[in-house]
Structure 1
Amino acid sequence: MTLTRAWLNSENWDQSRAFLRENQDELACQETVALLRETEDKIAHQHAAILELLDSLDLDEVFDAVTDVTVASDQGYRFLEAGAWIKLAPCHEQSRS
């Protein structure tokens, strides 16, 4: 939990990317996703979506989408074209919060 909280407290997306890169083995697991989804905190849900997207994209692709709407749109279209619309679920859930 302490590691997760430290990641959530990153001051910006660049720091968040660097922190996750250093701690990906510990953070990128279903337990962390579940913990983040249990809260009502929008920031926690954003981070859960990041972890879920790591199943389909590498870390840099995920954070490029987080920080650039054009990249996010392009990746979304790639998922749709590949018939992998389910991969968009974390993003859709986040946009509804």
Structure 2
Amino acid sequence: MRVLIKANMDTDRGNEAIRTGKMPEIVQGALERIKPEAAYFGPLDGCRSMLLVVDIPDSSQIVPTLDPLFSDLGARLEVTPIMNLDDLKKGLSQLQ
């Protein structure tokens, strides 16, 4: 299932990662483990944030997929199921 992950980083942990120069390493490591289809970065809800589009084929993969965001960044997460255009067309065709 394709999901949109909104990750708001903990401000104190983010500040510390920036002070120590580890923020690029932490973000790159998380992205390598998560393997998003797309990744965007910016301020959301007053926090340093990431928006990631991720395909999670099995619900048991939610734990290892999201854990780097919790453990490395102290992030608050929102996970929302999403569809691309092909998924939407397929779903709509089942309504007829």
State the TM-score, normalized to the length of structure 2. Answer: 0.33
Which protein has greater RCO, CA pairs closer than 8 Å, 6+ apart? Answer: 2
**In proportion to residue count, which structure has more strand?**
2
Q: Which has the larger radius of gyration?
A: 2
